[in-house]
A and B are shown apart, each in its own frame.
Chain A
Amino acid sequence: MTTATLAARRRRSALRTLAFMSPWLIGFSVFFAYPLISTVYFSFMHYDGFRPPQWSGGKNWTYVFEHYPLFWPALRNTLWLVVVTVSLRVVFGLGIGLLITRIKTGTGVFRTLFYLPYLAPPVAATMAFAFLLNPGTGPVDSILEKTGLPAPGWFNDPAWSKPALTLLALWGVGDLMVVFMAALLDVPTEQYEAAQLDGASAWQRFRYVTLPNISPIVMFAVVTGVIQTMQYYTQPLVAGKVASGVIQGAGTQFEPGYPDKSTLTLPQLVYNLGFQRFDYGSACVVALVLFALSMAFTALLMRRRGGLIQAGD
Protein backbone atom coordinates (compact mmCIF):
# COMPACT_ATOMS: atom_id res chain seq x y z
CA MET A 1 0.00 0.00 0.00
CA THR A 2 1.37 3.41 -0.86
CA THR A 3 1.78 6.07 1.77
CA ALA A 4 -0.72 8.30 0.00
CA THR A 5 -3.59 5.83 0.31
CA LEU A 6 -2.56 5.02 3.87
CA ALA A 7 -2.74 8.70 4.81
CA ALA A 8 -6.09 8.99 3.04
CA ARG A 9 -7.41 6.00 4.92
CA ARG A 10 -6.20 7.39 8.19
CA ARG A 11 -7.87 10.72 7.46
CA ARG A 12 -11.09 8.95 6.56
CA SER A 13 -10.99 6.94 9.74
CA ALA A 14 -10.43 10.10 11.80
CA LEU A 15 -13.32 11.81 10.03
CA ARG A 16 -15.54 8.81 10.68
CA THR A 17 -14.69 8.90 14.40
CA LEU A 18 -15.31 12.62 14.49
CA ALA A 19 -18.69 12.19 12.80
CA PHE A 20 -19.87 9.50 15.19
CA MET A 21 -18.54 11.34 18.25
CA SER A 22 -19.87 14.75 17.18
CA PRO A 23 -23.11 14.83 19.23
CA TRP A 24 -21.19 14.20 22.40
CA LEU A 25 -18.31 16.49 21.47
CA ILE A 26 -20.77 19.36 21.11
CA GLY A 27 -22.63 18.32 24.26
CA PHE A 28 -19.38 18.04 26.20
CA SER A 29 -18.18 21.49 25.13
CA VAL A 30 -21.45 23.39 25.50
CA PHE A 31 -22.98 21.66 28.52
CA PHE A 32 -19.91 20.61 30.50
CA ALA A 33 -16.61 22.30 29.65
CA TYR A 34 -17.96 25.80 29.03
CA PRO A 35 -20.22 25.97 32.12
CA LEU A 36 -17.52 24.45 34.31
CA ILE A 37 -14.99 27.10 33.30
CA SER A 38 -17.71 29.70 33.65
CA THR A 39 -18.49 28.45 37.17
CA VAL A 40 -14.85 28.97 38.15
CA TYR A 41 -14.98 32.46 36.62
CA PHE A 42 -18.19 33.45 38.44
CA SER A 43 -16.88 32.13 41.76
CA PHE A 44 -14.52 35.15 41.75
CA MET A 45 -17.18 37.63 40.65
CA HIS A 46 -19.86 39.52 42.43
CA TYR A 47 -22.93 38.94 40.30
CA ASP A 48 -26.62 39.33 41.12
CA GLY A 49 -27.99 38.83 37.61
CA PHE A 50 -28.89 42.49 37.14
CA ARG A 51 -25.76 44.58 37.38
CA PRO A 52 -22.78 43.38 35.32
CA PRO A 53 -20.41 40.94 37.09
CA GLN A 54 -17.64 42.58 39.10
CA TRP A 55 -14.33 41.10 40.19
CA SER A 56 -14.48 40.41 43.91
CA GLY A 57 -11.38 38.29 44.50
CA GLY A 58 -11.83 35.62 47.17
CA LYS A 59 -14.79 37.33 48.83
CA ASN A 60 -17.33 34.71 47.77
CA TRP A 61 -15.05 31.98 49.07
CA THR A 62 -14.56 33.53 52.50
CA TYR A 63 -18.29 34.30 52.64
CA VAL A 64 -19.29 30.68 51.98
CA PHE A 65 -16.75 29.13 54.34
CA GLU A 66 -16.91 31.68 57.15
CA HIS A 67 -20.20 33.53 57.11
CA TYR A 68 -22.83 31.62 55.15
CA PRO A 69 -24.82 29.98 57.96
CA LEU A 70 -26.00 27.00 55.90
CA PHE A 71 -22.67 25.69 54.56
CA TRP A 72 -21.28 23.74 57.53
CA PRO A 73 -24.65 22.26 58.57
CA ALA A 74 -25.08 21.00 54.99
CA LEU A 75 -21.61 19.46 55.00
CA ARG A 76 -22.25 17.84 58.39
CA ASN A 77 -25.54 16.41 57.14
CA THR A 78 -23.79 15.03 54.06
CA LEU A 79 -21.24 13.32 56.31
CA TRP A 80 -24.06 11.89 58.44
CA LEU A 81 -25.85 10.59 55.36
CA VAL A 82 -22.64 9.05 53.99
CA VAL A 83 -21.81 7.28 57.25
CA VAL A 84 -25.30 6.15 58.26
CA THR A 85 -27.52 6.05 55.18
CA VAL A 86 -25.01 4.75 52.65
CA SER A 87 -23.77 1.95 54.92
CA LEU A 88 -27.27 0.94 55.97
CA ARG A 89 -28.36 0.89 52.33
CA VAL A 90 -25.43 -1.33 51.34
CA VAL A 91 -26.00 -3.74 54.25
CA PHE A 92 -29.75 -3.83 53.66
CA GLY A 93 -29.34 -4.19 49.89
CA LEU A 94 -26.94 -7.09 50.41
CA GLY A 95 -29.36 -8.67 52.89
CA ILE A 96 -32.28 -8.38 50.48
CA GLY A 97 -30.05 -9.70 47.69
CA LEU A 98 -29.08 -12.73 49.82
CA LEU A 99 -32.71 -13.26 50.73
CA ILE A 100 -33.94 -13.18 47.13
CA THR A 101 -31.30 -15.71 46.00
CA ARG A 102 -32.58 -18.12 48.68
CA ILE A 103 -36.28 -17.69 48.01
CA LYS A 104 -37.37 -20.67 45.92
CA THR A 105 -41.13 -20.20 45.74
CA GLY A 106 -42.55 -17.18 43.94
CA THR A 107 -39.12 -15.66 43.30
CA GLY A 108 -40.37 -13.45 40.46
CA VAL A 109 -43.19 -11.96 42.55
CA PHE A 110 -40.93 -11.25 45.52
CA ARG A 111 -38.28 -9.71 43.27
CA THR A 112 -40.80 -7.37 41.64
CA LEU A 113 -42.27 -6.31 45.00
CA PHE A 114 -38.81 -5.62 46.45
CA TYR A 115 -37.79 -3.66 43.36
CA LEU A 116 -40.88 -1.54 42.77
CA PRO A 117 -40.31 1.21 45.39
CA TYR A 118 -37.00 2.11 43.71
CA LEU A 119 -39.03 3.24 40.70
CA ALA A 120 -41.42 5.50 42.59
CA PRO A 121 -40.79 9.10 41.42
CA PRO A 122 -38.79 10.81 44.21
CA VAL A 123 -41.29 13.62 44.73
CA ALA A 124 -44.19 11.17 44.93
CA ALA A 125 -42.26 8.79 47.20
CA THR A 126 -41.25 11.64 49.52
CA MET A 127 -44.83 12.91 49.57
CA ALA A 128 -46.00 9.39 50.44
CA PHE A 129 -43.51 9.12 53.31
CA ALA A 130 -44.35 12.60 54.55
CA PHE A 131 -47.90 11.31 54.86
CA LEU A 132 -47.00 7.88 56.30
CA LEU A 133 -44.69 9.40 58.92
CA ASN A 134 -46.84 12.45 59.61
CA PRO A 135 -46.96 12.75 63.42
CA GLY A 136 -50.63 13.77 63.57
CA THR A 137 -52.50 11.28 61.46
CA GLY A 138 -49.87 9.13 59.77
CA PRO A 139 -50.37 5.36 59.88
CA VAL A 140 -46.83 4.63 61.14
CA ASP A 141 -47.19 6.67 64.33
CA SER A 142 -50.76 5.39 64.80
CA ILE A 143 -49.47 1.83 64.74
CA LEU A 144 -46.46 2.65 66.93
CA GLU A 145 -48.72 4.25 69.54
CA LYS A 146 -51.14 1.33 69.49
CA THR A 147 -48.27 -1.04 70.23
CA GLY A 148 -47.07 1.25 73.03
CA LEU A 149 -43.86 2.29 71.27
CA PRO A 150 -42.69 5.91 71.20
CA ALA A 151 -43.97 7.78 68.13
CA PRO A 152 -41.25 10.15 66.86
CA GLY A 153 -41.89 13.41 65.03
CA TRP A 154 -39.96 12.19 61.96
CA PHE A 155 -39.75 14.98 59.34
CA ASN A 156 -40.83 17.56 61.95
CA ASP A 157 -38.11 16.72 64.48
CA PRO A 158 -34.48 17.73 63.74
CA ALA A 159 -33.27 14.57 65.48
CA TRP A 160 -35.53 12.30 63.42
CA SER A 161 -35.63 13.93 59.97
CA LYS A 162 -32.47 12.23 58.70
CA PRO A 163 -33.53 8.81 60.05
CA ALA A 164 -36.84 9.36 58.23
CA LEU A 165 -34.94 10.11 55.01
CA THR A 166 -32.86 6.99 55.65
CA LEU A 167 -36.05 4.93 55.92
CA LEU A 168 -37.14 6.36 52.56
CA ALA A 169 -33.75 5.46 51.06
CA LEU A 170 -33.96 1.91 52.43
CA TRP A 171 -37.42 1.54 50.94
CA GLY A 172 -35.93 2.29 47.51
CA VAL A 173 -33.07 -0.22 47.81
CA GLY A 174 -34.13 -2.12 44.67
CA ASP A 175 -31.18 -0.95 42.56
CA LEU A 176 -28.67 -2.40 45.02
CA MET A 177 -30.73 -5.58 45.37
CA VAL A 178 -30.45 -6.25 41.64
CA VAL A 179 -26.72 -5.50 41.58
CA PHE A 180 -26.01 -7.75 44.58
CA MET A 181 -28.30 -10.48 43.27
CA ALA A 182 -26.33 -10.64 40.02
CA ALA A 183 -23.05 -10.69 41.95
CA LEU A 184 -24.21 -13.41 44.34
CA LEU A 185 -25.34 -15.66 41.51
CA ASP A 186 -21.88 -15.29 39.93
CA VAL A 187 -20.10 -16.78 42.94
CA PRO A 188 -18.86 -20.24 41.83
CA THR A 189 -20.99 -22.98 43.40
CA GLU A 190 -17.98 -25.28 43.75
CA GLN A 191 -16.51 -22.96 46.36
CA TYR A 192 -19.61 -23.35 48.51
CA GLU A 193 -19.54 -27.12 48.06
CA ALA A 194 -15.88 -27.26 49.01
CA ALA A 195 -16.51 -25.10 52.09
CA GLN A 196 -19.44 -27.29 53.08
CA LEU A 197 -17.32 -30.44 52.78
CA ASP A 198 -14.78 -28.77 55.07
CA GLY A 199 -17.58 -28.33 57.59
CA ALA A 200 -17.85 -24.54 57.32
CA SER A 201 -20.88 -23.02 59.06
CA ALA A 202 -23.31 -20.76 57.21
CA TRP A 203 -21.59 -17.70 58.67
CA GLN A 204 -18.14 -19.01 57.73
CA ARG A 205 -19.33 -19.70 54.18
CA PHE A 206 -20.61 -16.12 53.96
CA ARG A 207 -17.48 -14.64 55.52
CA TYR A 208 -14.86 -16.65 53.61
CA VAL A 209 -16.59 -17.49 50.31
CA THR A 210 -19.36 -14.96 49.59
CA LEU A 211 -17.76 -11.74 50.85
CA PRO A 212 -14.37 -12.10 49.11
CA ASN A 213 -16.15 -12.89 45.86
CA ILE A 214 -18.49 -9.91 45.95
CA SER A 215 -16.21 -7.36 47.63
CA PRO A 216 -15.65 -5.36 44.39
CA ILE A 217 -19.41 -4.96 44.08
CA VAL A 218 -19.69 -3.90 47.72
CA MET A 219 -17.00 -1.31 47.07
CA PHE A 220 -18.86 -0.17 43.94
CA ALA A 221 -22.10 0.17 45.92
CA VAL A 222 -20.39 2.22 48.63
CA VAL A 223 -18.69 4.63 46.23
CA THR A 224 -21.74 5.16 44.01
CA GLY A 225 -23.74 5.60 47.21
CA VAL A 226 -21.40 8.39 48.29
CA ILE A 227 -21.64 10.03 44.86
CA GLN A 228 -25.44 9.83 45.00
CA THR A 229 -25.37 11.43 48.44
CA MET A 230 -23.46 14.38 46.94
CA GLN A 231 -26.41 14.81 44.55
CA TYR A 232 -29.08 14.26 47.20
CA TYR A 233 -31.57 17.04 46.53
CA THR A 234 -35.21 16.26 45.79
CA GLN A 235 -36.08 14.08 48.78
CA PRO A 236 -34.67 16.30 51.58
CA LEU A 237 -36.00 19.47 49.96
CA VAL A 238 -39.53 18.16 49.38
CA ALA A 239 -39.65 16.49 52.81
CA GLY A 240 -38.67 19.77 54.44
CA LYS A 241 -41.17 21.78 52.42
CA VAL A 242 -44.08 19.43 53.03
CA ALA A 243 -43.36 19.02 56.75
CA SER A 244 -42.98 22.77 57.29
CA GLY A 245 -46.18 23.47 55.40
CA VAL A 246 -44.40 26.09 53.26
CA ILE A 247 -44.89 25.36 49.59
CA GLN A 248 -43.89 27.40 46.58
CA GLY A 249 -46.21 29.97 45.09
CA ALA A 250 -47.84 33.16 46.37
CA GLY A 251 -44.44 34.75 46.93
CA THR A 252 -43.47 32.45 49.79
CA GLN A 253 -39.77 31.77 50.20
CA PHE A 254 -38.81 28.46 51.67
CA GLU A 255 -35.59 28.53 53.65
CA PRO A 256 -34.31 25.01 52.99
CA GLY A 257 -33.33 22.59 55.71
CA TYR A 258 -36.51 22.39 57.80
CA PRO A 259 -36.53 21.41 60.62
CA ASP A 260 -33.59 23.43 61.97
CA LYS A 261 -31.24 22.89 58.98
CA SER A 262 -31.34 19.15 59.60
CA THR A 263 -32.23 18.25 55.99
CA LEU A 264 -29.81 20.64 54.26
CA THR A 265 -27.56 19.12 51.60
CA LEU A 266 -24.96 20.82 49.38
CA PRO A 267 -27.04 20.93 46.16
CA GLN A 268 -29.77 22.82 48.04
CA LEU A 269 -27.24 25.52 48.86
CA VAL A 270 -26.59 26.16 45.16
CA TYR A 271 -30.31 26.75 44.72
CA ASN A 272 -30.60 28.83 47.87
CA LEU A 273 -27.65 31.10 47.03
CA GLY A 274 -28.26 31.36 43.29
CA PHE A 275 -32.00 31.39 42.90
CA GLN A 276 -33.27 32.69 46.24
CA ARG A 277 -30.52 35.11 47.28
CA PHE A 278 -29.35 35.97 43.73
CA ASP A 279 -25.75 35.63 44.80
CA TYR A 280 -24.53 33.73 41.75
CA GLY A 281 -20.88 34.08 42.74
CA SER A 282 -21.25 32.32 46.08
CA ALA A 283 -23.52 29.71 44.50
CA CYS A 284 -20.63 28.89 42.15
CA VAL A 285 -18.30 28.43 45.13
CA VAL A 286 -20.59 25.76 46.57
CA ALA A 287 -20.93 24.23 43.10
CA LEU A 288 -17.15 23.88 42.91
CA VAL A 289 -16.98 22.26 46.35
CA LEU A 290 -19.62 19.82 45.11
CA PHE A 291 -17.60 19.26 41.95
CA ALA A 292 -14.38 18.54 43.84
CA LEU A 293 -16.08 16.06 46.17
CA SER A 294 -17.89 14.23 43.35
CA MET A 295 -14.79 13.96 41.20
CA ALA A 296 -12.67 12.69 44.09
CA PHE A 297 -15.05 9.79 44.60
CA THR A 298 -15.47 9.20 40.87
CA ALA A 299 -11.70 8.87 40.57
CA LEU A 300 -11.85 6.25 43.30
CA LEU A 301 -14.51 4.42 41.32
CA MET A 302 -12.51 4.40 38.10
CA ARG A 303 -9.26 3.31 39.74
CA ARG A 304 -10.80 0.23 41.29
CA ARG A 305 -9.76 -2.91 39.48
CA GLY A 306 -12.61 -5.39 39.20
CA GLY A 307 -15.28 -2.76 39.81
CA LEU A 308 -18.08 -2.35 37.32
CA ILE A 309 -16.71 0.82 35.83
CA GLN A 310 -13.42 0.51 34.05
CA ALA A 311 -12.22 3.12 31.64
CA GLY A 312 -9.43 1.09 30.08
CA ASP A 313 -9.92 -2.33 28.54
Chain B
Amino acid sequence: MTQVLDPPVKSAPLVSGAERTARRRAVLEWIAVHSLGVAAALFFTLPFVFVFLTSLMSDSQALSRDLVPHTWEWGNYKTVLDTPGFLTWWRNTSLYAGLGTVLTVVSSVPVAYALAKFRFRGRNLSLMLVISMMMLPPQVVVIPMYLFWAKQLGLSGTLWPLIVPMAFGDAFSVFLLRQFLMTIPNEYLDAARVDGCGDLRTLLRVVLPMAKPGIAAVALFQFFYAWNDYFGPQIYASENPGAWTLSYGLESFKGAHHTDWNLTMAATVLVMAPVILVFFFAQKAFVEGVTLTGVKG
Protein backbone atom coordinates (compact mmCIF):
# COMPACT_ATOMS: atom_id res chain seq x y z
CA MET B 1 0.00 0.00 0.00
CA THR B 2 2.95 2.31 0.58
CA GLN B 3 4.55 1.51 -2.74
CA VAL B 4 5.71 4.62 -4.57
CA LEU B 5 4.91 5.39 -8.17
CA ASP B 6 8.29 6.74 -9.17
CA PRO B 7 10.91 6.24 -6.48
CA PRO B 8 13.51 9.03 -6.60
CA VAL B 9 16.65 7.69 -8.26
CA LYS B 10 19.27 7.62 -5.54
CA SER B 11 22.25 5.79 -6.96
CA ALA B 12 22.54 7.21 -10.47
CA PRO B 13 24.03 10.70 -10.02
CA LEU B 14 27.82 10.81 -9.62
CA VAL B 15 28.13 14.48 -8.76
CA SER B 16 27.18 15.46 -5.22
CA GLY B 17 25.58 18.64 -6.52
CA ALA B 18 23.18 16.67 -8.65
CA GLU B 19 22.45 14.44 -5.69
CA ARG B 20 21.61 17.45 -3.57
CA THR B 21 19.23 18.75 -6.24
CA ALA B 22 17.55 15.37 -6.41
CA ARG B 23 17.14 15.23 -2.67
CA ARG B 24 15.79 18.76 -2.54
CA ARG B 25 13.31 17.88 -5.24
CA ALA B 26 12.22 14.81 -3.25
CA VAL B 27 11.65 16.97 -0.17
CA LEU B 28 9.70 19.54 -2.18
CA GLU B 29 7.60 16.77 -3.69
CA TRP B 30 6.92 15.35 -0.22
CA ILE B 31 5.70 18.76 0.94
CA ALA B 32 3.55 19.29 -2.16
CA VAL B 33 1.96 15.84 -2.01
CA HIS B 34 1.22 16.03 1.70
CA SER B 35 -0.20 19.57 1.49
CA LEU B 36 -2.57 18.33 -1.19
CA GLY B 37 -3.34 15.38 1.07
CA VAL B 38 -4.25 17.67 3.95
CA ALA B 39 -6.42 19.83 1.67
CA ALA B 40 -8.26 16.74 0.43
CA ALA B 41 -8.62 15.45 4.00
CA LEU B 42 -10.27 18.75 4.95
CA PHE B 43 -12.74 18.44 2.07
CA PHE B 44 -13.67 14.92 3.18
CA THR B 45 -13.85 15.53 6.93
CA LEU B 46 -15.15 19.10 7.35
CA PRO B 47 -18.76 18.14 6.50
CA PHE B 48 -18.66 15.60 9.35
CA VAL B 49 -17.13 18.21 11.68
CA PHE B 50 -19.76 20.87 10.88
CA VAL B 51 -22.59 18.37 11.23
CA PHE B 52 -21.25 17.21 14.59
CA LEU B 53 -20.68 20.77 15.89
CA THR B 54 -24.18 21.84 14.83
CA SER B 55 -25.66 18.81 16.56
CA LEU B 56 -24.37 20.24 19.84
CA MET B 57 -25.72 23.79 19.44
CA SER B 58 -28.66 25.28 21.27
CA ASP B 59 -31.91 25.76 19.31
CA SER B 60 -31.36 29.47 18.77
CA GLN B 61 -27.70 29.20 17.89
CA ALA B 62 -28.41 26.52 15.27
CA LEU B 63 -30.31 29.21 13.35
CA SER B 64 -27.36 31.59 13.45
CA ARG B 65 -24.31 31.57 11.22
CA ASP B 66 -21.98 30.46 14.01
CA LEU B 67 -19.73 27.51 13.26
CA VAL B 68 -18.81 26.51 16.83
CA PRO B 69 -21.31 25.95 19.68
CA HIS B 70 -21.26 28.49 22.55
CA THR B 71 -22.71 25.95 24.94
CA TRP B 72 -22.31 22.24 24.31
CA GLU B 73 -25.83 20.79 24.35
CA TRP B 74 -25.24 17.06 24.72
CA GLY B 75 -28.92 16.84 25.72
CA ASN B 76 -29.82 17.15 22.02
CA TYR B 77 -28.92 13.51 21.60
CA LYS B 78 -31.20 12.52 24.47
CA THR B 79 -34.02 14.55 22.90
CA VAL B 80 -33.57 12.66 19.65
CA LEU B 81 -33.47 9.25 21.32
CA ASP B 82 -36.59 10.15 23.32
CA THR B 83 -38.51 11.12 20.18
CA PRO B 84 -41.42 8.72 19.83
CA GLY B 85 -40.56 6.20 17.16
CA PHE B 86 -36.81 6.71 17.00
CA LEU B 87 -35.98 3.54 18.96
CA THR B 88 -38.57 1.58 16.97
CA TRP B 89 -36.91 2.68 13.74
CA TRP B 90 -33.61 1.62 15.22
CA ARG B 91 -35.00 -1.84 16.03
CA ASN B 92 -36.61 -2.23 12.59
CA THR B 93 -33.38 -1.23 10.85
CA SER B 94 -31.41 -3.74 12.91
CA LEU B 95 -33.89 -6.49 12.03
CA TYR B 96 -33.84 -5.62 8.33
CA ALA B 97 -30.05 -5.32 8.23
CA GLY B 98 -29.25 -8.21 10.58
CA LEU B 99 -31.71 -10.87 9.40
CA GLY B 100 -31.32 -9.74 5.80
CA THR B 101 -27.56 -10.16 5.98
CA VAL B 102 -27.75 -13.67 7.46
CA LEU B 103 -30.30 -14.79 4.85
CA THR B 104 -28.28 -13.29 2.03
CA VAL B 105 -25.06 -15.03 3.02
CA VAL B 106 -26.71 -18.41 3.61
CA SER B 107 -28.56 -18.36 0.29
CA SER B 108 -25.81 -16.80 -1.85
CA VAL B 109 -22.84 -19.00 -0.89
CA PRO B 110 -24.04 -22.24 -2.54
CA VAL B 111 -25.04 -20.39 -5.72
CA ALA B 112 -21.70 -18.61 -5.92
CA TYR B 113 -19.91 -21.92 -5.30
CA ALA B 114 -21.77 -23.64 -8.12
CA LEU B 115 -21.06 -20.72 -10.48
CA ALA B 116 -17.38 -20.69 -9.57
CA LYS B 117 -16.54 -24.39 -9.39
CA PHE B 118 -19.16 -26.60 -11.08
CA ARG B 119 -19.12 -27.16 -14.82
CA PHE B 120 -22.61 -27.20 -16.27
CA ARG B 121 -24.47 -26.07 -19.32
CA GLY B 122 -25.91 -22.58 -18.92
CA ARG B 123 -23.29 -21.48 -16.41
CA ASN B 124 -22.15 -18.45 -18.40
CA LEU B 125 -25.74 -17.54 -19.15
CA SER B 126 -26.59 -17.74 -15.44
CA LEU B 127 -23.65 -15.53 -14.60
CA MET B 128 -24.69 -12.96 -17.18
CA LEU B 129 -28.20 -12.96 -15.73
CA VAL B 130 -26.76 -12.47 -12.25
CA ILE B 131 -24.80 -9.45 -13.47
CA SER B 132 -27.90 -8.09 -15.22
CA MET B 133 -29.94 -8.42 -12.02
CA MET B 134 -27.16 -6.68 -10.15
CA MET B 135 -27.24 -3.71 -12.50
CA LEU B 136 -31.03 -3.46 -12.59
CA PRO B 137 -32.53 -0.45 -10.79
CA PRO B 138 -35.06 -1.74 -8.20
CA GLN B 139 -37.63 0.62 -9.69
CA VAL B 140 -37.85 -1.47 -12.87
CA VAL B 141 -39.78 -4.30 -11.24
CA VAL B 142 -41.31 -2.44 -8.31
CA ILE B 143 -44.86 -2.12 -9.64
CA PRO B 144 -45.57 -5.89 -10.03
CA MET B 145 -43.58 -6.61 -6.86
CA TYR B 146 -45.64 -4.12 -4.89
CA LEU B 147 -48.89 -5.49 -6.26
CA PHE B 148 -47.68 -9.00 -5.37
CA TRP B 149 -46.73 -8.21 -1.77
CA ALA B 150 -49.41 -5.67 -0.99
CA LYS B 151 -52.48 -6.81 -2.91
CA GLN B 152 -51.94 -10.57 -2.99
CA LEU B 153 -50.18 -11.24 0.30
CA GLY B 154 -51.36 -8.21 2.26
CA LEU B 155 -47.88 -7.52 3.60
CA SER B 156 -47.63 -3.78 2.97
CA GLY B 157 -46.85 -1.82 6.09
CA THR B 158 -44.16 -4.35 7.06
CA LEU B 159 -40.54 -4.92 6.10
CA TRP B 160 -41.11 -8.57 5.10
CA PRO B 161 -41.32 -7.77 1.36
CA LEU B 162 -37.73 -6.53 1.72
CA ILE B 163 -36.39 -9.31 3.96
CA VAL B 164 -37.92 -12.44 2.40
CA PRO B 165 -36.32 -12.00 -1.08
CA MET B 166 -32.91 -12.04 0.59
CA ALA B 167 -33.42 -15.75 1.32
CA PHE B 168 -33.20 -16.36 -2.43
CA GLY B 169 -29.73 -15.22 -3.33
CA ASP B 170 -28.82 -11.58 -3.78
CA ALA B 171 -27.26 -10.96 -7.22
CA PHE B 172 -24.51 -8.66 -6.01
CA SER B 173 -23.49 -11.02 -3.20
CA VAL B 174 -23.51 -14.03 -5.53
CA PHE B 175 -21.30 -12.17 -7.97
CA LEU B 176 -18.84 -10.94 -5.35
CA LEU B 177 -18.58 -14.38 -3.71
CA ARG B 178 -18.15 -16.04 -7.08
CA GLN B 179 -15.23 -13.72 -7.87
CA PHE B 180 -13.72 -14.63 -4.53
CA LEU B 181 -14.27 -18.40 -4.82
CA MET B 182 -12.63 -18.36 -8.26
CA THR B 183 -9.34 -17.57 -6.53
CA ILE B 184 -9.44 -20.78 -4.45
CA PRO B 185 -7.26 -23.38 -6.26
CA ASN B 186 -9.13 -26.48 -7.47
CA GLU B 187 -6.46 -28.72 -5.89
CA TYR B 188 -8.05 -28.16 -2.48
CA LEU B 189 -11.43 -29.33 -3.76
CA ASP B 190 -9.89 -32.35 -5.50
CA ALA B 191 -8.02 -33.28 -2.33
CA ALA B 192 -11.26 -33.11 -0.33
CA ARG B 193 -12.98 -35.31 -2.90
CA VAL B 194 -10.17 -37.88 -2.74
CA ASP B 195 -10.61 -37.89 1.03
CA GLY B 196 -14.24 -38.85 0.44
CA CYS B 197 -15.95 -35.52 1.13
CA GLY B 198 -19.30 -34.97 -0.58
CA ASP B 199 -20.08 -31.62 -2.22
CA LEU B 200 -21.81 -30.20 0.82
CA ARG B 201 -19.02 -31.32 3.18
CA THR B 202 -16.41 -29.85 0.82
CA LEU B 203 -18.27 -26.55 0.79
CA LEU B 204 -18.73 -26.43 4.56
CA ARG B 205 -15.36 -27.81 5.69
CA VAL B 206 -12.92 -26.74 2.99
CA VAL B 207 -14.31 -23.82 1.03
CA LEU B 208 -16.08 -21.83 3.74
CA PRO B 209 -13.03 -21.44 6.00
CA MET B 210 -11.01 -20.20 3.02
CA ALA B 211 -13.77 -17.87 1.87
CA LYS B 212 -14.09 -16.01 5.17
CA PRO B 213 -12.78 -12.67 3.82
CA GLY B 214 -15.21 -12.83 0.90
CA ILE B 215 -18.11 -13.70 3.17
CA ALA B 216 -17.16 -10.88 5.52
CA ALA B 217 -17.16 -8.43 2.63
CA VAL B 218 -20.55 -9.63 1.40
CA ALA B 219 -22.04 -9.46 4.89
CA LEU B 220 -20.78 -5.91 5.34
CA PHE B 221 -22.07 -4.72 1.97
CA GLN B 222 -25.44 -6.29 2.62
CA PHE B 223 -25.65 -4.81 6.11
CA PHE B 224 -24.85 -1.35 4.76
CA TYR B 225 -27.28 -1.79 1.89
CA ALA B 226 -30.16 -2.55 4.25
CA TRP B 227 -29.12 0.16 6.70
CA ASN B 228 -29.02 2.75 3.90
CA ASP B 229 -32.03 1.59 1.91
CA TYR B 230 -34.57 4.33 1.45
CA PHE B 231 -36.59 3.27 -1.57
CA GLY B 232 -37.61 -0.13 -0.18
CA PRO B 233 -39.04 1.14 3.11
CA GLN B 234 -40.65 4.05 1.26
CA ILE B 235 -42.59 1.63 -0.95
CA TYR B 236 -43.55 -1.02 1.58
CA ALA B 237 -43.47 0.62 5.01
CA SER B 238 -44.45 4.26 4.50
CA GLU B 239 -48.08 3.74 5.52
CA ASN B 240 -47.07 2.33 8.92
CA PRO B 241 -44.63 4.41 11.03
CA GLY B 242 -44.23 1.37 13.29
CA ALA B 243 -42.34 -0.36 10.46
CA TRP B 244 -40.13 2.57 9.39
CA THR B 245 -36.36 2.28 9.29
CA LEU B 246 -33.86 4.92 10.39
CA SER B 247 -33.05 6.04 6.84
CA TYR B 248 -36.73 6.55 6.13
CA GLY B 249 -37.63 7.98 9.53
CA LEU B 250 -34.76 10.46 9.50
CA GLU B 251 -36.51 12.45 6.81
CA SER B 252 -39.76 12.67 8.73
CA PHE B 253 -37.76 13.70 11.76
CA LYS B 254 -36.57 16.67 9.71
CA GLY B 255 -40.19 17.39 8.83
CA ALA B 256 -41.28 17.41 12.45
CA HIS B 257 -38.35 19.63 13.48
CA HIS B 258 -38.08 21.70 10.34
CA THR B 259 -36.15 24.58 11.85
CA ASP B 260 -34.23 22.63 14.46
CA TRP B 261 -31.09 21.92 12.48
CA ASN B 262 -29.33 20.97 15.73
CA LEU B 263 -31.74 18.09 16.44
CA THR B 264 -31.81 17.00 12.79
CA MET B 265 -28.01 16.92 12.73
CA ALA B 266 -27.94 14.96 16.00
CA ALA B 267 -30.29 12.42 14.43
CA THR B 268 -28.10 12.38 11.31
CA VAL B 269 -25.04 11.61 13.45
CA LEU B 270 -26.94 8.78 15.15
CA VAL B 271 -27.81 7.26 11.75
CA MET B 272 -24.24 7.59 10.46
CA ALA B 273 -22.45 6.43 13.61
CA PRO B 274 -23.16 2.66 13.49
CA VAL B 275 -22.05 2.39 9.87
CA ILE B 276 -18.81 4.19 10.61
CA LEU B 277 -18.18 2.11 13.74
CA VAL B 278 -18.74 -1.13 11.82
CA PHE B 279 -16.34 0.12 9.17
CA PHE B 280 -13.57 0.75 11.69
CA PHE B 281 -13.88 -2.77 13.01
CA ALA B 282 -13.92 -4.38 9.59
CA GLN B 283 -11.97 -2.00 7.39
CA LYS B 284 -9.73 -4.59 5.79
CA ALA B 285 -12.51 -6.91 4.68
CA PHE B 286 -14.42 -3.97 3.30
CA VAL B 287 -11.64 -2.49 1.22
CA GLU B 288 -10.86 -5.96 -0.14
CA GLY B 289 -14.47 -6.33 -1.18
CA VAL B 290 -14.53 -3.00 -2.98
CA THR B 291 -11.33 -3.87 -4.84
CA LEU B 292 -12.77 -7.24 -5.82
CA THR B 293 -15.87 -5.94 -7.48
CA GLY B 294 -15.57 -2.30 -8.16
CA VAL B 295 -18.70 -0.63 -7.04
CA LYS B 296 -21.86 -1.59 -5.23
CA GLY B 297 -24.71 -0.33 -7.38
Contacts and interface: CB of A to CB of B under 8 A. Distances in A.
A142 B142 contact: no
A127 B254 CA distance: 9
A185 B34 CA distance: 19
A68 interface: no
A103 B250 contact: no
Interface of A: 13-14, 16-17, 19-21, 23-24, 26-28, 30-32, 34-36, 38-39, 42, 49, 96, 98-105, 107-108, 110-117, 119-125, 127-129, 131-132, 134, 137, 139, 142, 171, 175-176, 178-179, 182, 184-185, 187, 189, 192, 196, 202, 205, 210, 220-221, 224, 227-228, 230-231, 233-234, 237-238, 241-242, 245, 247-249, 266-267, 270-271, 274-275, 280, 283-284, 287-288, 290-291, 294-295, 297-298, 301-302, 308-309, 311-313
B146 A274 contact: yes
Contact of A175 (B275, B276, B290): B290
A117 B44 contact: yes
Measured as residues with beta carbon below 8 angstroms from the partner, the interface class of chain B is 35 or more
Given A31-B168, A112-B283, A20 B41 contact: no
B37 A274 contact: no
**A contact patch SS:** helix
A16 B120 CA distance: 10
A49 B143 CA distance: 10
Contacts of B287: 115, 178
A267 B275 CA distance: 26
B230 A234 contact: yes
B183 interface: no
B36 A249 contact: no
A78 B53 CA distance: 35
A114 B2 contact: no
Contact of B247 (A117, A123, A142): A123
Contact of B297 (A139, A228, A290): A228
10 contacts: A103-B34, A110-B37, A112-B283, A127-B250, A131-B265, A132-B51, A182-B291, A202-B6, A295-B136, A298-B135
A139 B69 CA distance: 13
Contacts of A129: 47
Contacts of B192: none
Contacts of A19: 110
